[in-house]
Structure 1
């Protein structure tokens, strides 16, 4: 099944692929990638602000990572860290 794509926006199928649907999906992904790029810039600006205010950005990133985890998982990691530090006499 093959249909020609028309420039007037008429729906067309080529090899069973709906061109309008495919175009819509691609354009949505492209818009979201642009939004992600803008958000990444905003996040970078916030970290720069934190650094200029005297905060340690590396530690802030660690805290953000910990906040994404389940409390039980964080507790387990902290317990293991303590055990390993004591084993190494740190």
Structure 2
């Protein structure tokens, strides 16, 4: 976790004027920027925690995407068609009724174009 002072780079949420910003000291002697309004009480530390949690999730998302690429590369190396695998994965996420409806419309369009 970063150890920058909590008051660095703090900006008030949209709509809050600079006059509402004050610097306070916590019970541990740390300086905290508090921006207050009737509906808001934002501290730099809380804001930093939200941002760091989001950044951590972004990193996890990238790791998962990399793992998915590795799985597809492995499947391709074993001779599987990854385009078809991706279609099957997408189909498994859908309901049978949704799939049947799409197939019926596809068949109708193909028949209209003389493709059957």
Place the TM-score, normalised by the shorter chain, in its bin. 0.7 to 0.9
Between 1:65-74 and 1:8-17, the stretch displaced more is 8-17
> Cα gap change, 1:11/1:56 in structure 2, threshold over 3 Å: closer, same or farther?
farther
Between 1:39-48 and 1:65-74, the stretch displaced more is 65-74
Instruction: Tell me, yes or no, if the aligned pair for 2:34 and 2:44 is still in contact at 8 Å.
Output: yes
2:5 alignment counterpart: none
Whether 1:35 and 2:55 are equivalent positions in the alignment is: no
Whose relative contact order is higher, 1 or 2, with alpha carbons under 8 Å and at least 6 apart? 2
SS in 1 for 2:22: coil
Whether 1:23 and 2:43 are equivalent positions in the alignment is: no
How far residue 75 of structure 1 moved from its aligned partner, in angstroms, is 0.9
* Runs of 5+ consecutive residues of structure 2 not aligned to the other structure: 1-20, 37-41
Number of corresponding residues:
89
SS in 2 for 1:54: coil
- Structure in which a larger fraction of residues adopt helix: 1
* Runs of 5+ consecutive residues of structure 1 not aligned to the other structure: none
> Cα gap change, 1:35/1:9 in structure 2, threshold over 3 Å: closer, same or farther?
farther
Q: 1:49 aligns with which of 52, 74, 85?
A: 74
